[in-house]
Structure 1
Amino acid sequence: MSDTEPVVDLRLDRAHSSRIYDYMLGGKTNFLADRMAAGSVLSVFPAALAAARINREFMHRATRFLAESGMRQYLDIGTGIPTPPNLHDIAQGIVPDARVLYTDNDPIVLAHAAALLRGTPEGRTAYLQADVNDPASILESPRLLDTLDLGRPVVLSLNALMHFVTDDGRDHAHTIVETLKDALPSGSVLAMTHATPDVDPEVMRKIINIYRDAGTALQFRSRAEFLRFFDGWELLEPGITLSHQWRPDHPEDATHVTDAEAGCYAGVARKP
Protein backbone atom coordinates (compact mmCIF):
# COMPACT_ATOMS: atom_id res chain seq x y z
CA MET A 1 0.00 0.00 0.00
CA SER A 2 1.39 3.41 -0.92
CA ASP A 3 1.59 6.32 1.52
CA THR A 4 -1.22 8.08 -0.34
CA GLU A 5 -3.71 5.20 -0.22
CA PRO A 6 -6.30 5.57 2.55
CA VAL A 7 -6.60 2.91 5.21
CA VAL A 8 -10.07 1.44 4.97
CA ASP A 9 -11.74 0.24 8.16
CA LEU A 10 -13.67 -2.87 7.17
CA ARG A 11 -15.40 -2.90 10.58
CA LEU A 12 -15.23 -6.65 10.80
CA ASP A 13 -16.48 -6.47 14.38
CA ARG A 14 -19.91 -5.42 13.08
CA ALA A 15 -22.24 -7.47 10.92
CA HIS A 16 -22.74 -6.25 7.37
CA SER A 17 -25.62 -7.17 5.08
CA SER A 18 -23.41 -8.27 2.17
CA ARG A 19 -21.35 -10.55 4.41
CA ILE A 20 -24.46 -12.01 6.05
CA TYR A 21 -25.79 -12.72 2.55
CA ASP A 22 -22.44 -14.30 1.63
CA TYR A 23 -22.78 -16.61 4.62
CA MET A 24 -26.35 -17.50 3.65
CA LEU A 25 -25.12 -18.44 0.16
CA GLY A 26 -22.38 -20.67 1.60
CA GLY A 27 -19.55 -18.22 0.93
CA LYS A 28 -16.35 -17.81 2.93
CA THR A 29 -16.02 -14.01 3.08
CA ASN A 30 -17.83 -13.50 6.37
CA PHE A 31 -16.78 -13.07 9.97
CA LEU A 32 -17.94 -13.82 13.49
CA ALA A 33 -20.29 -10.83 13.75
CA ASP A 34 -21.86 -11.74 10.40
CA ARG A 35 -22.28 -15.39 11.36
CA MET A 36 -23.81 -14.45 14.71
CA ALA A 37 -26.35 -12.18 13.01
CA ALA A 38 -27.09 -14.89 10.44
CA GLY A 39 -27.59 -17.39 13.25
CA SER A 40 -30.10 -15.06 14.90
CA VAL A 41 -32.00 -14.76 11.62
CA LEU A 42 -32.00 -18.53 11.18
CA SER A 43 -33.36 -18.98 14.70
CA VAL A 44 -36.57 -17.16 13.70
CA PHE A 45 -36.53 -17.93 9.98
CA PRO A 46 -34.98 -21.37 9.38
CA ALA A 47 -35.63 -21.02 5.64
CA ALA A 48 -33.25 -18.03 5.35
CA LEU A 49 -30.60 -20.09 3.56
CA ALA A 50 -33.17 -21.23 1.02
CA ALA A 51 -34.49 -17.67 0.64
CA ALA A 52 -31.00 -16.36 -0.19
CA ARG A 53 -30.54 -19.11 -2.78
CA ILE A 54 -33.99 -18.47 -4.27
CA ASN A 55 -33.24 -14.77 -4.62
CA ARG A 56 -29.90 -15.52 -6.29
CA GLU A 57 -31.58 -17.94 -8.69
CA PHE A 58 -34.03 -15.21 -9.72
CA MET A 59 -31.05 -13.03 -10.70
CA HIS A 60 -29.66 -15.89 -12.79
CA ARG A 61 -32.97 -16.50 -14.56
CA ALA A 62 -33.74 -12.84 -15.17
CA THR A 63 -30.25 -12.13 -16.51
CA ARG A 64 -30.40 -15.16 -18.79
CA PHE A 65 -33.83 -14.15 -20.08
CA LEU A 66 -32.70 -10.57 -20.75
CA ALA A 67 -29.44 -11.59 -22.39
CA GLU A 68 -31.33 -13.99 -24.64
CA SER A 69 -33.60 -11.04 -25.46
CA GLY A 70 -30.55 -9.09 -26.66
CA MET A 71 -29.76 -6.86 -23.67
CA ARG A 72 -26.05 -5.98 -23.72
CA GLN A 73 -25.59 -3.51 -20.83
CA TYR A 74 -26.08 -4.12 -17.10
CA LEU A 75 -25.84 -1.87 -14.05
CA ASP A 76 -25.89 -4.09 -10.96
CA ILE A 77 -26.22 -2.06 -7.75
CA GLY A 78 -25.79 -3.76 -4.40
CA THR A 79 -23.61 -6.41 -6.00
CA GLY A 80 -22.45 -8.09 -2.82
CA ILE A 81 -19.46 -10.35 -2.39
CA PRO A 82 -18.71 -12.32 -5.59
CA THR A 83 -20.47 -15.68 -5.64
CA PRO A 84 -20.16 -17.44 -8.99
CA PRO A 85 -21.90 -17.51 -11.29
CA ASN A 86 -22.05 -13.73 -11.11
CA LEU A 87 -24.24 -11.58 -13.32
CA HIS A 88 -21.55 -11.08 -15.96
CA ASP A 89 -20.90 -14.83 -16.11
CA ILE A 90 -24.53 -15.34 -17.13
CA ALA A 91 -24.84 -12.36 -19.48
CA GLN A 92 -21.49 -12.74 -21.27
CA GLY A 93 -21.99 -16.48 -21.56
CA ILE A 94 -24.91 -15.63 -23.86
CA VAL A 95 -23.84 -12.24 -25.24
CA PRO A 96 -20.02 -12.19 -25.16
CA ASP A 97 -19.80 -8.43 -25.78
CA ALA A 98 -22.08 -7.55 -22.85
CA ARG A 99 -20.94 -4.71 -20.59
CA VAL A 100 -21.46 -4.91 -16.83
CA LEU A 101 -20.85 -2.34 -14.09
CA TYR A 102 -21.03 -3.64 -10.55
CA THR A 103 -21.63 -1.24 -7.64
CA ASP A 104 -21.56 -1.72 -3.87
CA ASN A 105 -20.81 0.36 -0.77
CA ASP A 106 -19.09 -2.35 1.29
CA PRO A 107 -15.28 -1.96 1.27
CA ILE A 108 -14.86 -5.72 1.56
CA VAL A 109 -16.66 -6.14 -1.78
CA LEU A 110 -14.05 -3.82 -3.28
CA ALA A 111 -11.34 -6.04 -1.79
CA HIS A 112 -12.77 -8.98 -3.73
CA ALA A 113 -13.75 -7.06 -6.87
CA ALA A 114 -11.06 -8.73 -8.97
CA ALA A 115 -13.32 -11.77 -9.10
CA LEU A 116 -15.95 -9.58 -10.73
CA LEU A 117 -13.64 -8.38 -13.48
CA ARG A 118 -12.85 -11.68 -15.20
CA GLY A 119 -15.15 -11.20 -18.15
CA THR A 120 -14.90 -12.08 -21.80
CA PRO A 121 -12.37 -10.33 -24.05
CA GLU A 122 -15.25 -9.05 -26.20
CA GLY A 123 -17.16 -7.56 -23.26
CA ARG A 124 -16.40 -5.26 -20.38
CA THR A 125 -16.76 -5.63 -16.62
CA ALA A 126 -15.96 -2.92 -14.09
CA TYR A 127 -16.54 -2.15 -10.42
CA LEU A 128 -17.56 1.12 -8.76
CA GLN A 129 -17.47 1.74 -5.01
CA ALA A 130 -20.63 3.80 -4.41
CA ASP A 131 -23.80 3.97 -2.33
CA VAL A 132 -27.30 3.71 -3.80
CA ASN A 133 -28.39 6.38 -1.32
CA ASP A 134 -26.44 8.82 -3.51
CA PRO A 135 -27.59 7.83 -7.02
CA ALA A 136 -25.85 10.85 -8.58
CA SER A 137 -22.49 9.44 -7.45
CA ILE A 138 -23.26 6.38 -9.56
CA LEU A 139 -24.81 8.04 -12.58
CA GLU A 140 -22.14 10.74 -12.87
CA SER A 141 -19.18 8.48 -12.19
CA PRO A 142 -16.49 8.39 -14.90
CA ARG A 143 -16.34 4.62 -14.30
CA LEU A 144 -19.98 4.25 -15.29
CA LEU A 145 -19.66 6.56 -18.29
CA ASP A 146 -16.57 4.66 -19.42
CA THR A 147 -18.30 1.27 -19.10
CA LEU A 148 -21.90 1.85 -20.17
CA ASP A 149 -23.44 3.89 -22.98
CA LEU A 150 -26.45 5.62 -21.42
CA GLY A 151 -27.72 6.33 -24.91
CA ARG A 152 -28.47 2.62 -25.31
CA PRO A 153 -30.74 0.37 -23.20
CA VAL A 154 -29.39 -0.71 -19.83
CA VAL A 155 -30.60 -3.38 -17.40
CA LEU A 156 -30.81 -1.91 -13.89
CA SER A 157 -30.43 -4.81 -11.47
CA LEU A 158 -31.55 -4.16 -7.87
CA ASN A 159 -31.66 -7.54 -6.22
CA ALA A 160 -32.48 -7.66 -2.49
CA LEU A 161 -31.17 -4.11 -2.14
CA MET A 162 -33.89 -1.53 -1.61
CA HIS A 163 -35.21 -3.04 1.62
CA PHE A 164 -31.94 -1.74 3.11
CA VAL A 165 -33.08 1.79 2.25
CA THR A 166 -35.51 3.15 4.83
CA ASP A 167 -37.86 6.03 4.17
CA ASP A 168 -37.68 7.74 7.59
CA GLY A 169 -40.89 9.65 6.93
CA ARG A 170 -39.93 10.40 3.31
CA ASP A 171 -40.40 8.43 0.12
CA HIS A 172 -36.65 7.93 -0.04
CA ALA A 173 -36.39 4.48 -1.63
CA HIS A 174 -38.85 5.21 -4.44
CA THR A 175 -37.18 8.56 -5.13
CA ILE A 176 -33.81 6.84 -5.53
CA VAL A 177 -35.18 4.27 -7.96
CA GLU A 178 -36.99 6.95 -9.96
CA THR A 179 -33.72 8.91 -10.24
CA LEU A 180 -31.97 5.84 -11.61
CA LYS A 181 -34.84 5.03 -13.98
CA ASP A 182 -35.00 8.58 -15.31
CA ALA A 183 -31.34 8.43 -16.34
CA LEU A 184 -31.88 5.39 -18.56
CA PRO A 185 -33.14 5.46 -22.17
CA SER A 186 -36.19 3.83 -23.71
CA GLY A 187 -35.85 0.05 -23.89
CA SER A 188 -34.01 -0.16 -20.57
CA VAL A 189 -35.11 -2.74 -18.01
CA LEU A 190 -35.52 -2.82 -14.23
CA ALA A 191 -35.03 -6.26 -12.64
CA MET A 192 -35.67 -6.24 -8.93
CA THR A 193 -36.42 -8.27 -5.81
CA HIS A 194 -37.52 -6.97 -2.41
CA ALA A 195 -38.33 -8.66 0.89
CA THR A 196 -41.94 -8.37 2.01
CA PRO A 197 -43.90 -8.78 5.25
CA ASP A 198 -46.96 -9.94 3.32
CA VAL A 199 -46.34 -13.67 3.67
CA ASP A 200 -45.29 -13.80 7.34
CA PRO A 201 -45.48 -10.42 9.13
CA GLU A 202 -44.36 -11.70 12.55
CA VAL A 203 -41.21 -13.41 11.27
CA MET A 204 -40.29 -10.41 9.14
CA ARG A 205 -40.73 -8.10 12.15
CA LYS A 206 -38.28 -10.26 14.10
CA ILE A 207 -35.76 -10.15 11.23
CA ILE A 208 -35.98 -6.35 11.11
CA ASN A 209 -35.21 -6.23 14.83
CA ILE A 210 -32.22 -8.57 14.46
CA TYR A 211 -30.68 -6.48 11.69
CA ARG A 212 -31.42 -3.28 13.63
CA ASP A 213 -29.64 -4.64 16.69
CA ALA A 214 -26.68 -5.52 14.45
CA GLY A 215 -26.57 -1.93 13.17
CA THR A 216 -28.44 -2.27 9.87
CA ALA A 217 -31.84 -0.72 9.22
CA LEU A 218 -34.41 -2.59 7.14
CA GLN A 219 -37.79 -1.70 5.68
CA PHE A 220 -39.77 -4.53 4.14
CA ARG A 221 -42.54 -3.45 1.77
CA SER A 222 -45.93 -4.71 0.66
CA ARG A 223 -46.84 -5.80 -2.85
CA ALA A 224 -48.39 -2.39 -3.54
CA GLU A 225 -45.26 -0.62 -2.34
CA PHE A 226 -43.07 -2.91 -4.42
CA LEU A 227 -45.23 -2.36 -7.49
CA ARG A 228 -44.64 1.40 -7.23
CA PHE A 229 -40.94 0.91 -8.03
CA PHE A 230 -42.04 0.03 -11.57
CA ASP A 231 -44.30 3.04 -12.11
CA GLY A 232 -44.35 4.17 -15.74
CA TRP A 233 -42.59 1.04 -17.03
CA GLU A 234 -44.18 -2.00 -18.67
CA LEU A 235 -44.07 -5.13 -16.53
CA LEU A 236 -42.96 -8.22 -18.42
CA GLU A 237 -44.78 -11.50 -17.95
CA PRO A 238 -45.59 -12.88 -15.44
CA GLY A 239 -45.70 -9.48 -13.70
CA ILE A 240 -45.12 -9.16 -9.96
CA THR A 241 -44.66 -12.55 -8.33
CA LEU A 242 -42.84 -14.02 -5.39
CA SER A 243 -39.25 -14.64 -6.43
CA HIS A 244 -39.53 -18.40 -6.93
CA GLN A 245 -42.57 -17.96 -9.20
CA TRP A 246 -40.91 -15.65 -11.75
CA ARG A 247 -40.30 -17.73 -14.88
CA PRO A 248 -39.05 -20.89 -13.10
CA ASP A 249 -36.82 -23.08 -15.23
CA HIS A 250 -39.24 -25.95 -14.65
CA PRO A 251 -42.87 -25.54 -13.51
CA GLU A 252 -42.35 -27.93 -10.63
CA ASP A 253 -39.53 -25.74 -9.25
CA ALA A 254 -42.07 -23.22 -7.96
CA THR A 255 -44.05 -25.93 -6.16
CA HIS A 256 -41.06 -27.05 -4.07
CA VAL A 257 -40.86 -23.70 -2.27
CA THR A 258 -43.48 -22.06 -0.06
CA ASP A 259 -44.29 -18.37 -0.34
CA ALA A 260 -42.96 -17.82 3.19
CA GLU A 261 -39.65 -19.48 2.29
CA ALA A 262 -39.17 -17.14 -0.67
CA GLY A 263 -40.13 -14.04 1.28
CA CYS A 264 -39.36 -11.68 -1.63
CA TYR A 265 -41.32 -10.17 -4.48
CA ALA A 266 -39.73 -10.08 -7.93
CA GLY A 267 -40.46 -8.15 -11.10
CA VAL A 268 -38.94 -7.16 -14.43
CA ALA A 269 -40.17 -4.15 -16.42
CA ARG A 270 -39.15 -2.29 -19.59
CA LYS A 271 -39.08 1.47 -20.13
CA PRO A 272 -41.41 2.49 -22.98
Structure 2
Amino acid sequence: MSSLGRSVDRVDGRIKVTGTATYAADTKIPGVAYGYLVTSTIGRGQITAIDTAAALASPGVLAVYTPFNPLKLFAYVQEQNDERFPPLQDKEVRFLGQAIGFVVAETWEQARDAAGLVTATYVPQPPVTEFPGRTVRKFEEFEEVVADGVQAQGDITFTASYTTPFQHHCAMEPHATVATWNGDHLTVHTVSQGALLVQRRLSETLGVDPAKIHVLSPHVGGGFGGKWGNWAQVPLACAASRP
Protein backbone atom coordinates (compact mmCIF):
# COMPACT_ATOMS: atom_id res chain seq x y z
CA MET A 1 0.00 0.00 0.00
CA SER A 2 1.13 3.51 -0.66
CA SER A 3 2.27 5.50 2.35
CA LEU A 4 1.42 8.77 0.63
CA GLY A 5 -0.65 10.88 2.97
CA ARG A 6 0.02 8.73 6.01
CA SER A 7 0.93 10.57 9.21
CA VAL A 8 4.52 9.80 10.25
CA ASP A 9 6.00 10.74 13.62
CA ARG A 10 9.22 12.71 13.66
CA VAL A 11 10.65 10.89 16.66
CA ASP A 12 13.15 13.61 17.58
CA GLY A 13 10.99 16.55 16.55
CA ARG A 14 9.53 17.40 19.95
CA ILE A 15 12.83 17.43 21.84
CA LYS A 16 14.43 19.56 19.14
CA VAL A 17 11.77 22.24 19.03
CA THR A 18 11.52 22.34 22.83
CA GLY A 19 15.29 22.70 23.27
CA THR A 20 15.89 19.45 25.15
CA ALA A 21 17.87 17.59 22.45
CA THR A 22 21.53 17.10 23.34
CA TYR A 23 23.97 18.06 20.58
CA ALA A 24 27.71 17.46 20.26
CA ALA A 25 28.68 20.84 21.72
CA ASP A 26 26.54 20.11 24.79
CA THR A 27 28.93 17.31 25.83
CA LYS A 28 30.47 18.11 29.22
CA ILE A 29 33.95 16.77 29.97
CA PRO A 30 35.92 18.00 33.01
CA GLY A 31 39.03 19.98 32.13
CA VAL A 32 38.18 20.29 28.44
CA ALA A 33 40.11 22.80 26.31
CA TYR A 34 38.56 24.70 23.41
CA GLY A 35 39.62 25.09 19.80
CA TYR A 36 38.68 27.76 17.27
CA LEU A 37 39.38 27.70 13.53
CA VAL A 38 41.23 30.41 11.63
CA THR A 39 39.92 30.48 8.07
CA SER A 40 41.23 31.82 4.77
CA THR A 41 40.16 35.22 3.50
CA ILE A 42 40.91 34.45 -0.15
CA GLY A 43 39.38 31.88 -2.46
CA ARG A 44 42.54 30.45 -3.99
CA GLY A 45 46.30 30.87 -3.62
CA GLN A 46 49.30 30.07 -1.45
CA ILE A 47 49.98 31.02 2.16
CA THR A 48 53.40 32.62 2.49
CA ALA A 49 53.34 33.48 6.20
CA ILE A 50 51.10 33.36 9.25
CA ASP A 51 51.74 35.64 12.23
CA THR A 52 50.69 33.92 15.46
CA ALA A 53 52.72 35.98 17.97
CA ALA A 54 49.80 38.04 19.28
CA ALA A 55 47.58 34.97 19.56
CA LEU A 56 50.21 33.00 21.46
CA ALA A 57 50.60 35.90 23.90
CA SER A 58 46.87 36.07 24.58
CA PRO A 59 45.43 34.96 27.94
CA GLY A 60 44.62 31.28 28.23
CA VAL A 61 46.06 30.23 24.87
CA LEU A 62 47.62 26.78 24.96
CA ALA A 63 48.69 26.28 21.33
CA VAL A 64 48.31 27.70 17.84
CA TYR A 65 48.57 25.32 14.89
CA THR A 66 49.09 26.37 11.25
CA PRO A 67 50.60 24.82 8.12
CA PHE A 68 53.93 26.11 9.49
CA ASN A 69 53.31 24.33 12.80
CA PRO A 70 50.81 21.57 11.95
CA LEU A 71 49.22 18.77 13.86
CA LYS A 72 50.32 15.53 12.21
CA LEU A 73 47.59 14.11 10.00
CA PHE A 74 47.91 11.48 7.27
CA ALA A 75 46.37 11.97 3.83
CA TYR A 76 42.79 10.90 3.22
CA VAL A 77 42.70 7.67 1.25
CA GLN A 78 39.14 7.19 0.05
CA GLU A 79 36.90 9.59 -1.82
CA GLN A 80 33.77 10.66 0.02
CA ASN A 81 31.45 13.62 0.05
CA ASP A 82 33.44 15.94 2.31
CA GLU A 83 36.85 17.63 2.33
CA ARG A 84 39.48 15.96 0.16
CA PHE A 85 42.53 17.04 2.15
CA PRO A 86 43.23 16.99 5.89
CA PRO A 87 43.59 20.52 7.31
CA LEU A 88 46.87 22.38 7.84
CA GLN A 89 49.00 19.84 5.96
CA ASP A 90 50.03 22.20 3.15
CA LYS A 91 50.02 25.92 2.35
CA GLU A 92 47.56 25.81 -0.55
CA VAL A 93 44.26 27.66 -0.26
CA ARG A 94 41.55 25.89 -2.24
CA PHE A 95 38.45 27.82 -1.18
CA LEU A 96 37.29 30.84 0.82
CA GLY A 97 36.88 29.93 4.47
CA GLN A 98 39.29 27.00 4.39
CA ALA A 99 40.80 26.13 7.78
CA ILE A 100 44.35 27.54 7.86
CA GLY A 101 44.83 27.67 11.62
CA PHE A 102 43.59 26.22 14.89
CA VAL A 103 43.82 28.03 18.22
CA VAL A 104 43.49 26.03 21.46
CA ALA A 105 42.78 27.83 24.72
CA GLU A 106 41.35 27.31 28.18
CA THR A 107 37.97 28.82 27.28
CA TRP A 108 35.96 29.17 24.09
CA GLU A 109 36.05 32.97 24.32
CA GLN A 110 39.83 33.00 24.71
CA ALA A 111 40.23 30.73 21.69
CA ARG A 112 37.86 32.85 19.61
CA ASP A 113 39.52 36.15 20.54
CA ALA A 114 43.03 34.80 19.93
CA ALA A 115 42.00 33.40 16.54
CA GLY A 116 41.02 36.92 15.54
CA LEU A 117 44.62 38.03 16.16
CA VAL A 118 46.12 35.53 13.69
CA THR A 119 47.02 37.14 10.37
CA ALA A 120 47.96 35.40 7.14
CA THR A 121 49.88 36.61 4.10
CA TYR A 122 49.01 35.13 0.71
CA VAL A 123 50.00 34.98 -2.91
CA PRO A 124 46.47 35.00 -4.33
CA GLN A 125 45.47 33.27 -7.53
CA PRO A 126 42.33 33.81 -9.62
CA PRO A 127 39.59 31.61 -8.13
CA VAL A 128 37.33 29.44 -10.22
CA THR A 129 33.94 31.01 -9.61
CA GLU A 130 31.80 29.65 -12.44
CA PHE A 131 30.88 26.23 -13.69
CA PRO A 132 31.65 25.45 -17.35
CA GLY A 133 28.78 25.96 -19.78
CA ARG A 134 26.33 23.13 -20.17
CA THR A 135 23.96 22.18 -22.94
CA VAL A 136 20.47 21.46 -21.68
CA ARG A 137 18.03 19.17 -23.47
CA LYS A 138 14.35 19.40 -22.59
CA PHE A 139 12.07 16.43 -23.15
CA GLU A 140 8.44 17.12 -22.27
CA GLU A 141 8.32 16.94 -18.44
CA PHE A 142 12.02 16.69 -17.53
CA GLU A 143 15.37 18.20 -18.28
CA GLU A 144 18.70 16.52 -18.89
CA VAL A 145 22.07 18.25 -18.50
CA VAL A 146 24.71 16.99 -20.92
CA ALA A 147 28.43 17.68 -21.22
CA ASP A 148 29.90 20.31 -23.50
CA GLY A 149 30.35 19.26 -27.08
CA VAL A 150 27.66 16.58 -27.00
CA GLN A 151 25.17 17.12 -29.77
CA ALA A 152 21.55 17.02 -28.71
CA GLN A 153 19.53 14.27 -30.30
CA GLY A 154 16.00 14.71 -31.56
CA ASP A 155 14.04 17.06 -33.71
CA ILE A 156 13.65 19.83 -31.13
CA THR A 157 16.23 21.22 -28.74
CA PHE A 158 15.95 23.95 -26.17
CA THR A 159 18.99 25.69 -24.68
CA ALA A 160 18.83 28.10 -21.75
CA SER A 161 20.72 29.30 -18.71
CA TYR A 162 19.23 29.20 -15.23
CA THR A 163 20.32 30.85 -11.99
CA THR A 164 19.04 30.27 -8.48
CA PRO A 165 19.17 32.65 -5.52
CA PHE A 166 21.52 32.13 -2.58
CA GLN A 167 19.83 30.32 0.27
CA HIS A 168 20.94 30.51 3.90
CA HIS A 169 19.82 27.68 6.13
CA CYS A 170 19.96 28.52 9.83
CA ALA A 171 20.71 25.19 11.47
CA MET A 172 19.92 24.64 15.13
CA GLU A 173 23.40 23.23 15.76
CA PRO A 174 26.84 24.51 14.73
CA HIS A 175 29.60 22.30 13.39
CA ALA A 176 31.23 21.18 16.62
CA THR A 177 33.35 18.30 17.91
CA VAL A 178 34.34 17.14 21.39
CA ALA A 179 37.15 14.58 21.43
CA THR A 180 38.62 12.62 24.32
CA TRP A 181 41.19 9.81 24.50
CA ASN A 182 41.46 6.88 26.87
CA GLY A 183 44.88 5.46 26.08
CA ASP A 184 44.76 4.72 22.36
CA HIS A 185 40.95 4.66 22.24
CA LEU A 186 39.19 7.76 20.91
CA THR A 187 35.64 8.90 21.66
CA VAL A 188 34.30 11.62 19.39
CA HIS A 189 31.09 13.55 19.97
CA THR A 190 30.48 15.33 16.69
CA VAL A 191 27.76 16.62 14.43
CA SER A 192 27.52 14.33 11.43
CA GLN A 193 24.94 12.76 9.16
CA GLY A 194 27.44 9.95 8.53
CA ALA A 195 29.06 8.64 11.71
CA LEU A 196 30.73 5.74 9.88
CA LEU A 197 32.25 8.19 7.39
CA VAL A 198 33.78 10.13 10.28
CA GLN A 199 35.14 6.92 11.80
CA ARG A 200 36.75 5.93 8.49
CA ARG A 201 38.28 9.38 7.89
CA LEU A 202 39.71 9.53 11.40
CA SER A 203 41.15 6.05 11.08
CA GLU A 204 42.94 7.13 7.90
CA THR A 205 44.24 10.49 9.06
CA LEU A 206 45.13 9.57 12.66
CA GLY A 207 46.50 6.11 11.87
CA VAL A 208 44.19 4.49 14.42
CA ASP A 209 42.34 1.17 14.15
CA PRO A 210 38.68 2.07 13.43
CA ALA A 211 37.63 -0.40 16.12
CA LYS A 212 39.24 1.99 18.62
CA ILE A 213 37.25 5.02 17.42
CA HIS A 214 33.76 5.58 18.83
CA VAL A 215 31.77 8.29 17.03
CA LEU A 216 28.65 9.65 18.75
CA SER A 217 26.14 11.89 16.99
CA PRO A 218 22.80 11.32 18.73
CA HIS A 219 21.06 14.30 17.12
CA VAL A 220 21.81 16.52 14.14
CA GLY A 221 20.39 19.98 14.51
CA GLY A 222 19.79 20.64 10.84
CA GLY A 223 22.11 19.13 8.26
CA PHE A 224 20.87 20.00 4.78
CA GLY A 225 23.79 17.93 3.45
CA GLY A 226 26.33 20.31 5.00
CA LYS A 227 26.94 17.96 7.91
CA TRP A 228 27.64 14.94 5.79
CA GLY A 229 30.92 13.27 6.66
CA ASN A 230 33.98 14.84 8.19
CA TRP A 231 35.01 18.51 8.26
CA ALA A 232 38.15 20.30 9.42
CA GLN A 233 37.24 20.72 13.07
CA VAL A 234 36.91 16.94 13.55
CA PRO A 235 40.49 15.74 12.87
CA LEU A 236 41.95 18.91 14.41
CA ALA A 237 40.09 18.43 17.69
CA CYS A 238 41.06 14.75 17.78
CA ALA A 239 44.73 15.39 16.99
CA ALA A 240 45.04 18.34 19.37
CA SER A 241 43.60 16.33 22.27
CA ARG A 242 45.74 13.27 21.61
CA PRO A 243 48.05 12.40 24.53
Structure-1-length-normalised TM-score: 0.26
Hey, which of these two has a bigger chunk of helix by percent?
1
Which has the greater radius of gyration?
A: 2
Greater relative contact order (Cα < 8 A, sep 6+): 2
